[in-house]
Amino acid sequence: MPARAAKFLSFYQPYLGLLAADLFCAVIVSAITLILPLCVRHITGALLAPGAADPRAELALMAGIMLALVAAHALCNLFIDYQGHMMGALMERDMRRELFAHLQKQSFSFFDDAKTGSLMSRITNDLFALSELYHHGPEDLLIGLVKFGGVFFITLSINPTLSLLVVLFLPLMFLYALHYNRKMHRALLLSKERVAEINAQIEDSLAGIRVVQSFANEPLEQAKFDAANARFVASRRLEYRAEALFYGGMEAFTQLMTIVVVVFGALAILGAALDLSDLITFLLYVGIMIEPIRRLLNFARWFQEGITGFQRFMDMMELPPAVQEPPDALTPARVQGELELQRVSFGYKEEFGTVFRDLSLRIGKGEVVALVGASGSGKTTLSSLIPRFYDVYGGRICLDGRDIRTLSLAALRRSIGTVEQDVYLFASTVADNIRYGKPDACEREVIAAAARANAHEFIMALPQGYATPIGQRGIKLSAGQRQRLSIARVFLKDPPVILLDEATSALDSESERAVQQSLERLMQNRTTLVIAHRLSTIRNADRIVVLSEQGICEQGSHEELLADGGRYAHLYALQQNP
Annotate 248-286 with b (16+ C-beta within 10 A) or e (fewer): eebeebbeebeebbeebbeebeeeeebbebbbbbbbbbb
Per CB under 5 A, does 380 bind Mg ion? yes
Total binding residues toward ligand ADP, as defined by CB under 6 A: 12
Per CB under 6 A, does 355 bind ligand ADP? yes
Round to whole Å and give the CA distance between 555 and 541: 11
Round to whole Å and give the CA distance between 431 and 443: 8
Cα separation values, 144 from 21, 78, 279, Å: 17, 18, 24
CB of 376 to ligand ADP, least distance (A): 4
The interface partner of residue 468, options being Mg ion, ligand ADP, none and the CB cut-off 5 to 8 Å by kind, is: none
Per CB under 5 A, does 229 bind Mg ion? no
User: Is residue 98 within a helix (H) or strand (E), and if so which, with residue range?
Assistant: helix 85-105
Round to whole Å and give the CA distance between 423 and 501: 11
Per CB under 6 A, does 376 bind ligand ADP? yes
Q: Are 526 and 495 in contact (CB under 8 A)?
A: yes
Interaction with ligand ADP in 554-573: which residues (CB under 6 A)?
A: none
Q: Are 460 and 421 in contact (CB under 8 A)?
A: no
Give me the DSSP letters along 10-48: HTTGGGHHHHHHHHHHHHHHHHHHHHHHHHHHHIIIIIT
The interface partner of residue 376, options being Mg ion, ligand ADP, none and the CB cut-off 5 to 8 Å by kind, is: ligand ADP
The interface partner of residue 508, options being ligand ADP, Mg ion, none and the CB cut-off 5 to 8 Å by kind, is: none
CB of 428 to ligand ADP, least distance (A): 28
The interface partner of residue 381, options being Mg ion, ligand ADP, none and the CB cut-off 5 to 8 Å by kind, is: ligand ADP
Nearer CB in complex with ligand ADP: 25/503: 503
User: Is residue 78 within a helix (H) or strand (E), and if so which, with residue range?
Assistant: helix 56-79
Q: Which of 572, 453, 456 is nearest to 523 (CA)?
A: 453
Where does this chain touch ligand ADP (CB under 6 A) — which range of 217-225, 269-277, 373-381, 484-492?
A: 373-381
CB of 576 to ligand ADP, least distance (A): 22
Per CB under 5 A, does 421 bind Mg ion? no
CB of 83 to Mg ion, least distance (A): 55
CB of 211 to ligand ADP, least distance (A): 24
Q: Tell me, residue by residue from 94 to 133, as one string, x for binding to ligand ADP by CB under 6 A and - for no binding.
A: ------------------x---------------------
Round to whole Å and give the CA distance between 525 and 521: 9
Round to whole Å and give the CA distance between 266 and 282: 12
Among 116, 214, 375, 509, binds ligand ADP (CB under 6 A): 375
Per CB under 6 A, does 176 bind ligand ADP? no
How are strands ordered across the β-sheet holding 402-403? 356-363, 339-346, 394-399, 402-403
Handedness of CA 148, 150, 154, 160 (dihedral sign): positive
Round to whole Å and give the CA distance between 143 and 30: 6
Per CB under 6 A, does 295 bind ligand ADP? no
CB of 104 to Mg ion, least distance (A): 25
Per CB under 6 A, does 549 bind ligand ADP? no
DSSP structure class, residue 394: E
Nearer CB in complex with Mg ion: 306/378: 378
Where does this chain touch ligand ADP (CB under 6 A) — which range of 94-102, 260-268, 301-309, 370-378?
A: 370-378
User: Is residue 372 within a helix (H) or strand (E), and if so which, with residue range?
Assistant: strand 368-373
Q: Which of 135, 137, 138, 143 is nearest to 33 (CA)?
A: 143
Per CB under 6 A, does 191 bind ligand ADP? no
Q: Tell me, residue by residue from 215 to 254, as one string, x for binding to ligand ADP by CB under 6 A and - for no binding.
A: ----------------------------------------
CB of 346 to ligand ADP, least distance (A): 9
Q: Under DSSP, is residue 531 helix (H, G, I), strand (E, B) or coil? A: strand
Q: Are 387 and 418 in contact (CB under 8 A)?
A: yes
Q: Under DSSP, is residue 496 helix (H, G, I), strand (E, B) or coil? A: coil
Q: Tell me, residue by residue from 333 to 372, as one string, x for binding to Mg ion by CB under 5 A and - for no binding.
A: ----------------------------------------
Per CB under 6 A, does 169 bind ligand ADP? no
Where does this chain touch Mg ion (CB under 5 A) — which range of 333-341, 378-386, 422-430, 470-478?
A: 378-386
Nearer CB in complex with ligand ADP: 107/258: 107
Per CB under 6 A, does 504 bind ligand ADP? no
Round to whole Å and give the CA distance between 464 and 130: 45
Per CB under 6 A, does 352 bind ligand ADP? yes
CB of 327 to ligand ADP, least distance (A): 28
Residues that bind ligand ADP (CB under 6 A): 112, 348, 352, 355, 373, 375-381
Residues that bind Mg ion (CB under 5 A): 380
